[in-house]
Amino acid sequence: MAKKKRWGEKWKDNRDWKAYNEQLVKRGEFYINPRFLETWLKEVQEMNHGKVGQPYMYPTSLIEFVGVLKAKGFSLRDLQGVVQALSKRFNNFPVICFSQVRRRILKLPLAFNAKGSNLVVGVDGSGMKVSNRGEWIRQKWAVRRGWIKVVILGDVDGNIVDIRVGNEDVDERAAGRGMIRDNNCVIDKVLADGLHDCGATFDLCEEFGLETGVKIRENADESGLGRRPDEVRLYKNMGYKGWAKVKAYGKRWLATEGIFSASKRIMGECVNAHKKRNMYREARLKFWAYQQVKDAGAG
């Protein structure tokens, strides 16, 4: 096979490896640092203020702590054991049981917050497995359980801005437009692959005054007026390489593919839940936990 010639400048690794190594070490500390002990009483008091019925005993920070470990693959009973071991070493604080861990994790908000404003973001989707069975068993026995689709809106620093989770039939373009609409106040530019080359996406970006870097399909029609025909003409006049350089299209990988790769590598790409709604929530939990770990390394 003929070797493909690389276009553009040769990539240079300018990463500060000393600083990056420190970030990875901080991530390791994050997994087993019982930060919740410092704020336990204050959190519980605030959570129970005006509450009717049985008061909360365990703070949200404890649930977030075990939630990250759950995303890493710990079972519910494993998590009870982790908390129990910590309790023995830190003044015998109350140990939460595994069934309550499950209930509280299912109630976690799992929110994502934009890291700043005037962001350059990317939109893309990827699949997650609903079981850990291999491809051989799918082919041999025709066993198929479908898969989960995750659509993310990420920034070029590798942070998740928003996320949508559903089954394999989720409309990725509609999900992307929904996230752009919800977060337009912090976005300056949207990057996306050719799947998002449609009038509705360009019209939405035009409505909010957002710059676009959406790859145009080869057979796109350039007739008419509006943002998309203008972008089609620009793409065809400049060619892909010129267009990609002007639009900084390569940054899309940092905002989408890079996040998917890192999250699946760290948190895994298979869910263990059996109910559909719990599968979706577990998938969201994995990306939320990844962002928590990433933030801990940067802090």
Q: CA-based angle 74:76:82, to the nearest 5? A: 70
At 6 the pLDDT is: 61
Q: Which CATH class is domain 119-298?
A: alpha beta
What is the tens place of the pLDDT at every residue in 37-94? 999 999 999 999 998 888 999 999 999 999 999 999 999 999 999 999 999 999 999 9
Q: Output DSSP code: residue 58.
A: S
Sign of the CA dihedral with 208 first, then 204, 116, and 242 last = negative
Residue pair 214/190 in contact by the 8 Å Cβ criterion:
yes
Q: Which amino acid is at 184?
A: N
C-alpha span between 196 and 256 (Å, rounded): 14
Q: How confident is the model at residue 268 (pLDDT cuts 50, 70, 90)?
A: very high
Q: How far is the C-alpha of 106 from the C-alpha of 124, rounded, in Å?
A: 26
pTM of the model: 0.89
| % of the chain residues with pLDDT over 90 | 72
Listed by start position, the domains of the chain span 17-106, 119-298
Decide if pLDDT at 96 tops 90. Answer: yes
pLDDT > 70? residue 26: yes
pLDDT tens track for 130-181: 876 555 555 555 555 678 999 999 999 999 999 999 998 999 999 999 999 9
